[in-house]
A and B are shown apart, each in its own frame.
Chain A
Amino acid sequence: MRELLDFTTGMSLAVILLVLVSVRRRHIRVEYSVSWLGAALALLALSRWPVALEKLAGWLGIGNPPLALVFIVGCLFLVVLFRLSVIISDLKDANIALTQRLAILEYRLESAHGTQGAQG
């Protein structure tokens, strides 16, 4: 169990570091870093606080705390992935609307300049 907790601590710190560096370099926007930081901090806390992990495993009815940790990791990342799916869906809707609007504006502009029939 000790090895697993140490590994989880290392992973959590790596994720936190990666997210912070990515935010600083503007590879990821602050609002989208919150889910990852929240998940990583939760894992860091559980891996450094075995009493809490054992209590949580008891609440979940899982006799083996490492197994509970794996389960919690899975749940946290499912939440993060779901949130990303919502964001991607929003972005896709916005992209479609913008693409349609751009095409309509271009059409109107070309028509106003009398170039619609002259293309191709």
Chain B
Amino acid sequence: MIRPAHPDSLLVIVPAFNEEAAVGRVVREIREKAPEADVLVIDDCSLDQTAAVARQAGAEVLSLPYHLGLGGAVQAGYKLAYELGYQYVIRSDGDGQHDPQDIPKIYEALKRSGCQMVIGSRFLEGEGGQTTLVRSLGIGFFRLVLRPILGRPVRDPTSGFVGVNREALQVFSKSFPLEYPEIEALVVLQRRRFRFLEVPCRMRPRLAGRSTITVLKSFYYIIHVLLGVFVNVLKYERRRR
């Protein structure tokens, strides 16, 4: 079983669903670029050999008995990491779009800044890779929506390449948005007056498979997330002193 080996213990969680073609390389790259980190693949009840491939590549695997979707899988990883006592957790997607070379950068930023969340941002340097027009419009829209809520600008609110410290881990292990979690998670943290930081990261083409995002799904995403944001804004939460 993975265990935190030192006070600044880092766990990289990789939510994966039917990613047998990419997850092995993702795990090997993470172990190579961030040797100090433990790697946990959360297999979201894949129909293929995702779990076996991840184990062969050297990761531990948390296998969900039912498909929960991205938020449920990520939260399962957060729960286990919190219970095992990890100080920092970085999420990296199983399709290989997040470059493991940037993990040490996020880890250092988490330790150095004291922020509860560090976002690997595609837009701090350059144009953010292969983002579609609809997605770009959506990101621009949410930047505008989040600016007054967060009290500061956020360049890449939809990034899934995110690191959290133990304070945020505690919150997310109890309360985490289950569908399209990235933007809502920012609002959840803001309600506790937690801080976040963005560091520049690169986005690569996915190693295998293709995106399931369509124009129709993008509009559904915008409406769903917008509703989730406002529900979270209206929610009463006991503020941190």
Contacts and interface: CB of A to CB of B under 8 A. Distances in A.
A104 B53 CA distance: 20
A103 interface: yes
Interface residues of B, number: 22
Given A103-B63, A104-B76, A107-B63, A120 B49 contact: yes
A111 B56 CA distance: 16
Interface in A96-116: 96, 99-100, 102-104, 106-108, 111-112, 116
A6 B49 CA distance: 60
B177 to A, nearest CB: 12
A120 B68 contact: no
Contacts, number: 55
Contact of A120 (B1, B51, B75, B76): B51
Nearest to A111: B1
B174 to A, nearest CB: 10
A47 B2 CA distance: 67
B64 A100 contact: yes
A103 B1 contact: no
A120 B55 contact: yes
B172 to A, nearest CB: 12
A100 B1 contact: no
A85 B217 CA distance: 23
A3 B189 CA distance: 59
A61 interface: no
A41 B105 CA distance: 65
Interface string B46-58: 0001011101100
Interface of A: 95-96, 99-100, 102-104, 106-108, 111-112, 116-117, 119-120
16 contacts: A95-B66, A96-B178, A99-B64, A99-B66, A99-B76, A104-B79, A104-B83, A107-B1, A107-B60, A107-B61, A107-B63, A116-B1, A117-B55, A117-B60, A119-B51, A120-B55
